[in-house]
Amino acid sequence: MLCLGVLASGRGSNFQAIIDAISTGKIKAQIRLLIVDNPAAYAIERAKKHAIEHLYLDPSKYPNKDTYFSVIADELKRRNVDLVVLAGFMRIVKKPLLDAYPNKIMNIHPALLPSFPGLHGQKDAVDYGVRISGCTVHFVDEGIDTGPIIIQAAVVVSPDDTEEELAKRILTLEHKIYPEAIKLYSEGRLKVEGRKVKILGYQLPSDTIINPPLSQ
């Protein structure tokens, strides 16, 4: 069975969505370990509640970022983790972890990449005035939110939206597409070819979203 290692820094609602998808049998996997870089992360409470091992690794205790990430890689490997899931992990992953898990680290970002990468995806979308935004699950590479895209989901944006309102609508979708991406991975259906991720056995739908809709 697929073994997951989750990295988080905060609230962990995506972590919870993955826990729930495993409990209901949607995903055939087990979470071996939660690693946090913040001792106050609420994700720790979720791990405790579900009897998932957790580990706080304090970045300030390591001489540099590479060492920090090589310790993370060692902890994950020691527990036979197959896939690393970033769930609100607020650090850029460095080479030692990328090398240990090539195309085996996923992240979720609250915008339609490559638009609005970085820390404020929802605010940047609202401020820019886009009509459609959403979220993206992607494999992690050395860049900031630049790796091959696995799934995207869209929401319409109103000019009156606040960052908080948009973030809430996007988060609801995040909780759907992150478990789905992990499910596809667990079924061996994701094939990375350069920048592109092929999904085996997937029929392209014909849906479109036009916002505002065409007039009658």
State which H helix or E strand residue 49 sits in: helix 43-49
Q: Which stretch binds ligand GRF (CB under 6 A): 102-110, 148-156, 193-201, 207-215?
A: 102-110
Q: Is position 109 annotated as part of the catalytic site? A: yes
Residue numbers 20-79 binding ligand GRF by CB under 6 A: none
Listed in sequence order, the residues at least 6 apart from 201 whose beta carbon sits closer than 8 Å to its beta carbon are: 189
Q: How far is the CB of 186 from ligand GRF (least distance, A)?
A: 20
Q: How far is the CB of 178 from ligand GRF (least distance, A)?
A: 8
Task: Note whether 5 binds ligand GRF by CB under 6 A.
Answer: no
Task: Note whether 87 binds ligand GRF by CB under 6 A.
Answer: yes
Q: Which stretch binds ligand GRF (CB under 6 A): 9-17, 23-31, 57-65, 182-190?
A: 9-17
Task: Note whether 12 binds ligand GRF by CB under 6 A.
Answer: yes
CB-side neighbour CA atoms (13 Å) of 55? 16
Of 5, 88, 96, 179, the one binding ligand GRF by CB under 6 A: 88
Amino acid found at 190: L
d(CA 55, CA 117): 28
Q: Dihedral sign, CA of 176, 206, 124, 141?
A: positive
> Could you give phi then psi for residue 168, rounded to 5 degrees?
-65, -45
Q: How far is the CB of 175 from ligand GRF (least distance, A)?
A: 8
Q: How far is the CB of 55 from ligand GRF (least distance, A)?
A: 17
Q: Which stretch binds ligand GRF (CB under 6 A): 18-26, 27-35, 108-116, 155-163?
A: 108-116
> β-pairing, 149-156 with 132-139?
antiparallel
Q: How far is the CB of 9 from ligand GRF (least distance, A)?
A: 7
> Could you give phi then psi for residue 43, rounded to 5 degrees?
-55, -30
The backbone region for 129, taken as left when phi is positive above 0, alpha when psi lies in -120 to 50, beta otherwise, is left
d(CA 137, CA 212): 26
Of 35, 83, 97, 108, the one binding ligand GRF by CB under 6 A: 108
Question: Do residues 135 and 177 touch, judged by C-beta distance below 8 A?
Answer: yes
Enzyme catalytic residues: 109
Residues that bind ligand GRF (CB under 6 A): 8, 10-14, 87-88, 108-110, 171, 174
